[in-house]
Structure 1
Amino acid sequence: MAIVSRKVSDLNGQQGDDNEFAAVVVRQHPNIDQPKVLDVLVTETEAFKTIGDLVVLEVTMPDGDKREIAMRLVDFNKLAPNMDEVVKNARGTRGRVPGTRVGNSNG
């Protein structure tokens, strides 16, 4: 007796070899509370359409709750008259605030 393992697409059930599959991670969906992975034939990935230039934001509220927001770049740029400069001069998620230096100023 032999055990045979086969891979099938989560989208259409079609069988294929491992090298014909892509892993698609669904990070956010109204019906899930954690990321899920779909095994999808590479040819099926062509059906996934991009929306265009998106900005993905992570919003952390004062109580620590976080949510991820995706919005069109054109709408994001409307939030401030000089959004390119605002983003360029914003502090990074790691490291120092722009314009600060290591050490003290007693120099």
Structure 2
Amino acid sequence: MAIVSRKVSDLSGKDAPDNEFASVVVRQHPDIDQPKALDVLVPELESFKDIGDLVILEVRTPDGHTRDIYVKVADFNKAAPNMGEILRNARGTRGRVPGTRVGNGG
């Protein structure tokens, strides 16, 4: 007796060799409260249409709530006449604040 293992698409139920599958992580959807992974055949990826150039924003409000906002690049750039310059000069999310130095204070 042999044990046979096969991989099937979470979308269509079709089976195929491992090298024909992509892994898709659904990070946000109204029906889930945590990321979920799907095994999807490569041709099935075409059903996920890319909506174009997006800016993904993480917004933290003063009350401590965090949410993601997805905005088209053109709409995001309308928020300020010099958005490219503003972004280039903005502080990073890691490391030291620009203009600070590491030292012993002496």
TM-score for the superposition, normalised by structure 2: 0.89
1:26–1:36 Cα contact (<8 Å) kept? yes
Moved more, 32-41 or 60-69: 60-69
Instruction: List structure 1 segments (4+ residues) > 2 angstroms apart after TM superposition.
Output: 96-106
TM-score for the superposition, normalised by structure 1: 0.88
Residue of structure 2 equivalent to 1:85: 85
1:4 matched to 2:30:
no
- Aligned partner of residue 44 in structure 1, secondary structure: helix
Structure 1 residues 15-36: Cα deviation after superposition (integer angstroms, max 9, x where no partner)? 1011110000000111111000
Give the % identical residues.
72
RMSD after superposition = 1.7
Using the TM superposition, give the Cα deviation of residue 63 of structure 1 relative to its aligned residue in structure 2, in angstroms: 2.7
Using the TM superposition, give the Cα deviation of residue 69 of structure 1 relative to its aligned residue in structure 2, in angstroms: 1.2
Structure 1 unaligned regions, length at least 5: none
Structure 1 residues 26-63: Cα deviation after superposition (integer angstroms, max 9, x where no partner)? 00111111000110001111222211111011111223
CA distance in 2, matches of 1:75, 1:42: 32
Using the TM superposition, give the Cα deviation of residue 97 of structure 1 relative to its aligned residue in structure 2, in angstroms: 2.4
- Aligned partner of residue 87 in structure 1, secondary structure: helix
Residue of structure 1 equivalent to 2:67: 67
Structure 1 residues 45-104: Cα deviation after superposition (integer angstroms, max 9, x where no partner)? 122221111101111122322111111001111111211111111110012223333348
Distance 1:81 1:42, change over 3 A: same
One-letter code aligned to 1:44: E
